Structure 1
Amino acid sequence: MKSNRTKNEEVTGKQRSLEHALDSEDAGVDPNLRLIHLFNHYRHDWMNEIQLLFGYVKLKKYDKLEDLMEKIKNKVQQESYISKLGNAELIVYLLSFQAEVKDLLLEIEMEREVHLNELPLDSQGVGRLLMDLIQVFKRCSVFNGDGLGLHDLVVKFTEKSNLLLIELQYQGLIGADVLAAELERVMFESIQTVKWDIQLLDERHAAMYIEVPFCT
């Protein structure tokens, strides 16, 4: 399924069909309290990593240290990349989603820094489009209530010579028909000039590729 879409008209906040607020208990609360909650989450997350590290050392399970340190190194690197995306709204959204949304694991992957604000494209529009798409995947995920199902969404950013490539890879139960319709609707309502391709879509997997050409 492929499409090119160009829309020149401006779209106001009231006209947008999707909200970027996260579906969590903290949505709509005081921004300062939400920021404190976010800090507490990451502090708790890192304390768990440190305790696990000390636990391996105490038990002399040195063979497990290399894999754990590699995991921590990659985690630090990806969080650093997210913080340097150059779009404050998108950065806060991604970090908040990872901290607050428990039923869908969001992973961001970049091989190097991508500064959206320095690329010849509409960085704010790209950010809003990506947030809309992530919300669609969250709403279309199917949860059976036993807590055993894996729901994972990986978003990859790759800066090429003439475009920005965004890949979305989903694994987990999902309403495929509803997802297809929602993705198509969001892409056609977007003000972005993009090429998009849904290469895989069934009840347990989805793969979507978006090419955002640089302005010339």
Structure 2
Amino acid sequence: MKNENWTVIQAMRHARHDWMNQIQLIKGFMALGKLEDAERVIETAILQARQEAHLCNLRLPNFAEKLLTFNWEERSFQLEYEVLDHETSVNIQDEWLSEWIDSLFHLIERHIKRYGDNLLSLSIDKADEGLRFFFEFSGIIQNEQLLLEDITSQLEASYVQQWKIHEHSSQEFLFEVVL
């Protein structure tokens, strides 16, 4: 399901479904007497809620919505994100950033195995020049060289202030971008 404009009802339905899954896990672990596992699920839920709040505090509503709803849609990879400096205020155009990240996600999807165990971890942090994004992909890359060329082309053609590819192989791709 690709939905560009989530209604409040649709968003609530997905959020409620996610929370119910976590509550069911907690109840299941407690029923089995696995309190440490239940505690782990609770801590994960708390950390996730904090990260969602940090993301929303960037005051980039379109960008935040993209990341918050990404895993609700059928995608070729799962997305995890972390906002490292939750006091960050940024001077980036929200609409442009949303379109840029969306095109980057689509680019990555074109070069990975569709039903592989694919994960993209995104860390967001303040930089002297703007906002730093650190991308760490792990999964099955179908054509590593073509992905490298396409990402390089996108980073050179956009309003990226700095970028660096740290590592790449057929199973992982690490790069950072400052906007």
- Smaller-chain TM-score bracket: 0.7 to 0.9
Contact persistence 1:197–1:209 (CA under 8 A)? yes
Distance 1:49-1:150 versus aligned 2 partners, 3 A rule? same
TM-aligned CA deviation for residue 153 of structure 1: 0.4
Match for residue 55 of structure 1 among 19, 28, 37: 28
TM-aligned CA deviation for residue 155 of structure 1: 0.8
Contact persistence 1:38–1:99 (CA under 8 A)? no
How many matched pairs?
178
Contact persistence 2:71–2:79 (CA under 8 A)? yes
Amino acid at match of 1:207: L
Pair 1:136 & 2:107 matched: yes
CA distance in 2, matches of 1:60, 1:69: 15
Distance 1:125-1:52 versus aligned 2 partners, 3 A rule? same
Pair 1:75 & 2:43 matched: no
SS at match of 1:103: coil
TM-aligned CA deviation for residue 60 of structure 1: 2.2
Match for residue 127 of structure 2 among 143, 152, 160: 160
Distance 1:185-1:80 versus aligned 2 partners, 3 A rule? same
Contact persistence 1:153–1:171 (CA under 8 A)? yes
What's the CA shift string for 1:45-79, capped at 9, x where partnerless?
11011111122222322232332222111111112
CA distance in 1, matches of 2:17, 2:94: 32
Runs of 4+ displaced beyond 6 Å: none
Match for residue 179 of structure 1 among 117, 132, 147: 147
CA distance in 2, matches of 1:121, 1:88: 12
If asked which structure has higher relative contact order (CA below 8 Å, sep 6+), I would say 1
CA distance in 2, matches of 1:35, 1:198: 38
TM-aligned CA deviation for residue 162 of structure 1: 4.3
Contact persistence 1:90–1:131 (CA under 8 A)? no
Query: RMSD of the TM alignment (CA)?
Result: 2.3
Residue range with higher mean Cα deviation, 42-51 or 59-68: 59-68
Contact persistence 2:25–2:38 (CA under 8 A)? no
TM-aligned CA deviation for residue 189 of structure 1: 2.6
Amino acid at match of 1:176: E
Residue range with higher mean Cα deviation, 72-81 or 122-131: 122-131
Structure 2 residues not aligned, in runs of 5+:
none
Contact persistence 1:151–1:171 (CA under 8 A)? yes
CA distance in 2, matches of 1:76, 1:90: 17
CA distance in 1, matches of 2:111, 2:137: 11
Amino acid at match of 2:85: R
Amino acid at match of 2:153: R
TM-score (norm 2): 0.85
What's the CA shift string for 1:80-101, capped at 9, x where partnerless?
2222231222122222212113
Q: Aligned runs of 1:1-216 on 2, under 5 Å?
A: 25-27=1-3, 31=5, 35-113=8-86, 115=88, 118-143=89-114, 147=115, 149-174=116-141, 175-190=143-158, 192-212=159-179
Structure of greater Rg: 1
